[in-house]
Amino acid sequence: MAKLYFRYGAMGSAKTMNLLAVAHNYEQQGKHVYMIKPALDDRFGADLIRSRAGLERKADLCVQPDTVIDLEVLRGIDCVIVDECQFLSEFVVHQLRNITVDMDIPVICYGLRTNFMTRLFEGSKRLMEVADAIEEVKTTCAYCNRKAVFNIKLRQGTACTQGAEIELGAEDLYQPTCCRCFEARIGVDNPLRNRGSHVELWLVRHGETIENASGILSGQIEAKLSPRGIEQAIALKDKLAGVSFDGVYSSSLQRAMDTAHYAGYDNPVAVDELREFCFGDYDGWKIQDVPQDWAKALYAFKDDFVTPNGENIAMVNARASGFVDTLKPGRYLIFAHGGVIRTIAKNLGADRFIQNGTALIIDWTHKEIMGTVE
């Protein structure tokens, strides 16, 4: 018995070019193919099947959801080939399945597996259930070199989660993505997390300062980015590109504001509650000159760490986490400091001290670390 094939791939995986090549190969052997496409896919013309590489041919049949395929026209046909099969109705898929049984003609269907919210299309769902062979047409993520498994929908270059399931478009509207890049760009409406609205934090430690490089404790004294720190901040621009944020905040200390500027965010909201620890008597001292038992306690970051005439962990946590608790559900980019970020992470039961110019991604609602940007 002939088989029903479902060959799926993400956007840009050359599915239609593959389809046209298969049709060409059949015809080179003197065999006859019958080409089907959904009528609603009229991007290149009502009955035209066209690849983005420019190859094209006419479809023999454009189907509506209720189309009844005339089996008489298939007599003498060696293969039925279907483009954009994700748009087919279950009614039409059943007919394709029956063609392989009743007429012993192989049917090869090409299309997307899931929509921009990672859900199966009607046609794809039924094909996954009834096809004899399910094969992937592979391509790489538009944002990295991993294999693409999802399709992300764009509005003016930014990922979005709204709109109709079927909205015809090409690279200007959709991009293939791996799971990691999909999650990074889709934001708090991420369907893979199945959590509804929550607060997601991207906590960036400012770039290296001259004081950092010199081993000087620069809690709430002003410090200046070093050349290396500026490079780290500039590098963040590409790392954060394409990620949408519902708000951008920064510690009101200049080194954090400058990092935001070099990273491409010129107008972050300055927040005093996000300032670094006040190291009191030791602010501005070289770390080698402070009492070493105090320095060890600082590095250990235990709950009972105390700064002479300055702040302890509980005080910093009260102001920094208190600010975060005021945020509405959404994804937020926050430029801050190593001590503040480490304090916020302690709320998750994790001790995370991150390097200059890197970010810690946190699901604040569910108190989980989601990843890092380095």
C-beta separation of 82 from 60 below 8 A = no
- Position of tokens 């934090």? 201
Active-site position among 27, 56, 72, 84: 84
Alpha helices in 52-120 (DSSP H): 90-102
Return the percent helix, strand and coil in the chain, to nearest 5.
30, 25, 45
- The helix/strand/coil state of 181 is helix
Nearest to 363 by CA among 192, 173, 212, 141: 192
Q: Which one, of 345, 330, 307, lies nearest residue 197 by Cα?
A: 330
10 Å CB burial of residue 303 (0-12, 13-18, 19+) is exposed
Alpha helix (H) residue ranges in 176-220: 179-186, 210-213
> Distance between CA 367 and CA 134 in Å, rounded?
39
**Assign residue 256 a region: left if phi > 0, alpha if psi is -120 to 50, beta otherwise?**
alpha
368 is catalytic: no
Residues belonging to the active site:
84
